[in-house]
Amino acid sequence: MKQEQAEAKSKTKAKAKDQVQRMYGQLSLQEPGRITTVDGDYDVVVCGGGPAGFAAAVAAGRLGARVLLVEKAGALGGVWTSGLLSFIMDNGGKGGLLAELQERLQFLDGYRLQPHPASDSEYDGSRDFTYDAEVMKLVLEAMCVEAGVELLLHTQLCGVLREGSHVTAVLTEGPGGRRAVTGRVFIDCTGNGDVGAYAGCSHERGHPVTGKTQPATLYALVSGGPKLPLSWFRSEEKQAFYDLLRSVGREPSYRLPSLFALPHPDLVCLMINHEYGVQCDSARQITDATVHARRELFEAVAALRTHEEWQNARIVATASHIGLREGRRLEGHYQLTVDDVVQGAQFPDGLFTVTLPVDIHDVTAHEGEGAGRDGLVAQPYQIPYRALIATAVDNLAMAGRCISGDFYAHASYRVTGNSVAMGEATDIASAWAALQGLPLVELSGTAVAAEMRQRGYTGA
């Protein structure tokens, strides 16, 4: 009897195990049907509260549109704040919200002019600057509130509802569970093209031959180190820092480690790591990269403390948001190409000018010297309105890293100074489209470009 009971128990366990294996071996599970509450209806819905999203929301709000800004973190700013980037590039010839932002940061003692060395004749880095991330949070929130923008923090985009060529709503998950938000116009400022992907838009990612993407980087704020000069970006300075790290027993994963002096006299931003092969739609890869990078930062600073000039160094904060250099590049009505970059393309609907060189961080470890240009020499070129308007959806605009461009063009325009300008342009257009009831593609791109010129964007 006992043997029979044991055999029966064994069969039951085996059956249960088989059921579990079959259940978790499935590629997908079907959720029970649900009814989702609509949490609001807006003229313009901006997804992503980073540099592009903040600008998009403020620009539309000031034009009288009813605007919602959805952000997954607990603060606006994205890579600026949660990511502790601390340095903003390609600010030359840009007015509008970018100029206003700098003025507000200066007023609150959260700004430090830090020009990029004039080693690149095609790049004007004279207005590059560092900032205090906590002051940045305060300023971004204030500008949005003053513009009448409704903010929804701690809220993750999780889906899109589409009817034909029209997005009708985005689905979100937050402390109150799943909610839907409807709108007239939607703007993808997620950096990774999440809205476009959920809406079924065509997109590209990575190198055109290998598909590999540029590496991710986690930033840290460090106190107690040696004082830095006004600029610390020359190749010889990066080489000296690289040699210092190696002398204390640390081989940084980024061959061009950098330090940025911040407005606070005792703080610097530290950039020393590369995390390779991180895909924007893989939570596991992003998690593993974050854990690995944070460990590298702490180990590097611990090693630096053995050096006399760094003996008091301590990590004050590491970013909660790892910086991804690449995600999806959504298909737009125009795709910026490497030819546009090297030829200095100008367009009738050109919104502003990009002057940053092609900046490709090595896509695999020890591939080269950390970053380079693949022999490409950029000339100042314009971003056209058409590159910011999705082809598959008539009421979807995009701003930031996810606009329509190829791998090489993206390596030039992807920095946040350009993201702000893109955001401001898309929401000028979005507010006009929402208030006039027009598809984005039917708006005059030349009119949007003219408005950008009025706002101080030279070259538009």
Q: Is residue 406 part of a domain?
A: yes
Q: Same domain for 100 and 121?
A: yes
- Bridge partners of 88, per DSSP, are 129
Q: Answer with the one of 292, 318, 344 that is the final residue of a domain.
A: 318
397 in the same domain as 287: no
Shared domain check, 138 and 236: no
Find the domain containing 129 and state its range: 37-211+326-454
Q: Is the domain of 173 the same as that of 245?
A: no
User: Are 376 and 339 spatial neighbours (Cβ–Cβ below 8 Å)?
Assistant: no
Q: For the domain that residue 410 is a member of, what is the CATH number?
A: 3.50.50.60
Per-residue pLDDT at 19? 54
Whole-number pLDDT of residue 368: 67
Task: Kindly state whether residue 296 falls inside one of the protein's structural domains.
Answer: yes
Count of domains observed in the chain: 2
- Rounded CA-CA distance 66/50 in Å is 19
Same domain, 74 and 105: yes
φ and ψ at residue 104, rounded to 5 degrees: -70, -40
- DSSP H stretches of helix in 305-386: 338-343
pLDDT of res. 32: 81
Helices first, then strands: H and E counts in the chain:
11, 20
In a domain, 20, yes or no: no
On the 0-12 / 13-18 / 19+ scale of CB atoms within 10 A, 355 is buried
In angstroms, the CA 158 to CA 178 distance is 9
Pair 199, 228 in one domain: no
The pLDDT of residue 20: 45
Residue 31 lies in a domain: no
CA-closest candidate to residue 440, choices 398, 381, 403, 411: 398
Asked if residue 14 is part of any domain, the answer here is no
Please check whether residues 304 and 279 belong to one and the same domain.
yes
Is residue 113 domain-shared with residue 57, that is, in the same domain?
yes
The DSSP-derived string for 105-163 is HHHTT-EEE-PPPTT-TT---TT-EEE-HHHHHHHHHHHHHHTT-EEE-S-EEEEEEEE
Q: Regarding beta strands 360-361 and 156-163, do their DSSP bridges make them parallel or antiparallel, or are they unpaired?
A: unpaired
User: Of 285, 318, 351, which residue constitutes the final position of a domain?
Assistant: 318
Which residues, in sequence order, are bridge partners of residue 177? 174
**Residue 181 belongs to what H/E stretch?**
strand 177-188
- Nearby residues of 150 by Cβ (< 8 Å), 6 or more positions away: 40, 42, 66, 67, 68, 69
Contacts of residue 38, defined as CB under 8 A and 6 or more positions apart, other chains included, come to 169, 179, 180, 181, 182
318, 352, 382 - which closes a domain: 318
In a domain, 49, yes or no: yes
pLDDT in tens, the chain (460 residues): 556 666 666 666 556 555 545 545 556 777 788 889 999 999 999 999 999 999 999 999 999 999 999 999 999 999 999 999 999 999 988 999 999 999 999 999 999 998 887 655 567 788 899 999 999 999 999 999 999 999 999 999 999 999 999 999 999 999 999 999 999 999 999 999 999 999 999 999 999 999 999 999 999 999 999 887 655 677 888 899 999 999 999 999 999 999 999 999 899 999 999 999 999 999 999 999 999 999 999 999 999 999 999 999 999 999 999 999 999 999 999 999 999 999 999 999 999 999 999 999 989 887 667 788 888 899 999 999 999 999 999 999 999 999 999 999 999 999 999 999 999 999 899 999 988 889 999 999 999 999 999 999 986 5
Same domain membership, residue 404 and residue 337:
yes
Whether residues 56 and 193 share a domain: the answer is yes
pLDDT at residue 390 in the model: 97
| Same domain? 201 vs 80 | yes
In a domain, 443, yes or no: yes
- The contacts of residue 144 (CB under 8 Å, 6+ apart) are 54, 57, 58, 61, 69, 76, 151
Q: pTM for the full model? A: 0.92
Q: Residue 358 corresponds to which tokens in the numbers above?
A: 């092609």
Which residues sit opposite 261 in a β-bridge?
268
Q: What is the DSSP string of 44-70?
A: EEEE--SHHHHHHHHHHHHTT--EEEE
Claim to verify: residue 159 and residue 288 sit in the same structural domain: no
**Could you tell me if 381 and 344 are in contact, meaning their C-beta atoms sit under 8 angstroms apart?**
yes
User: Does the residue 18 lie in any domain?
Assistant: no
* CB atoms closer than 10 angstroms to residue 22: 9
Q: Residue 306 burial (CB < 10 Å; 0-12/13-18/19+)?
A: exposed
